[in-house]
Amino acid sequence: MLRFALQGLSGPERKALNTVSAFRMPASYETLAAIRVGDEKPFADESALDRAFADLEDRGLLGWDRRANRYDLHPIVRGVVWNGLGQVSRYRVYATLRAYFEPIPAVRPQEVDSLNELTPTVELYRTLIGLGQYEDAFVVFRDRLSDDAGN
């Protein structure tokens, strides 16, 4: 059934699905649009992204939390999609995520009221590990996530 749902995806739909599969927490629409919409990106405008998300949702591949406007994948779908990517494709997805998350200002852990506020930092940390940049990941953890961060 999953194989059938994955058949016939357009290139941009596949790239959107690949991107969502790299996240370990639900991804906000705002984040996904920033990563995948624009010049030299898979989607020319947000309406094209919306159509792709609707198709992915209709196929049962993508879940949409309408209230929070976030997207996520079932763990089995995530595993099949992510494990189906080659090393070069994974690297490209991670590089795209790093370029998006790295410039986001750090939040002081002492001032965090919800996990959502740490999502960009957690995703950056995971992305750096995925890129094999362990020292950079350690610095993000030390400076942004540990109990001593911001002191």
- Tens-digit pLDDT profile for residues 14-53: 999 999 999 989 999 999 999 999 999 999 999 999 999 9
Average pLDDT over residues 104-132: 89
- What pLDDT, on a 0 to 100 scale, did the predictor assign at position 150? 56
d(CA 33, CA 19): 11
CA distance 57 to 16: 12
Domain residue ranges of the chain, discontinuous segments joined by +: 1-85, 86-151
What pLDDT score does 151 carry? 57
Q: What is the pLDDT of residue 2?
A: 86
Length of the chain as a residue count: 151
CATH topology of domain 1-85: Arc Repressor Mutant, subunit A (1.10.10)
Straight-line distance from the first to the last Cα atom of the chain, in angstroms, rounded to the nearest whole number: 51
Question: pTM, whole model, 2 decimals?
Answer: 0.89
Q: What is the pLDDT of residue 149?
A: 63
User: Phi first, then psi: what are they for 65, rounded to 5°?
Assistant: -90, 100
Please tell me the distance from the alpha carbon of residue 100 to that of residue 130, in angstroms, as a whole number: 15
pLDDT band at 137 (very low <50, low <70, confident <90, very high): very high
Q: What is the pLDDT of residue 71?
A: 97
pLDDT digits (tens, 9 = 90+) for 62-110: 999 999 999 999 999 999 999 999 999 999 999 999 999 999 988 877 7
Window from 52-61, 103-112, 122-131 with minimum mean pLDDT: 103-112
Q: Could you tell me which of 135, 125, 123 has the C-alpha nearest to residue 22?
A: 123
At how many degrees (to 10) do helices 119-130 and 87-101 cross?
150
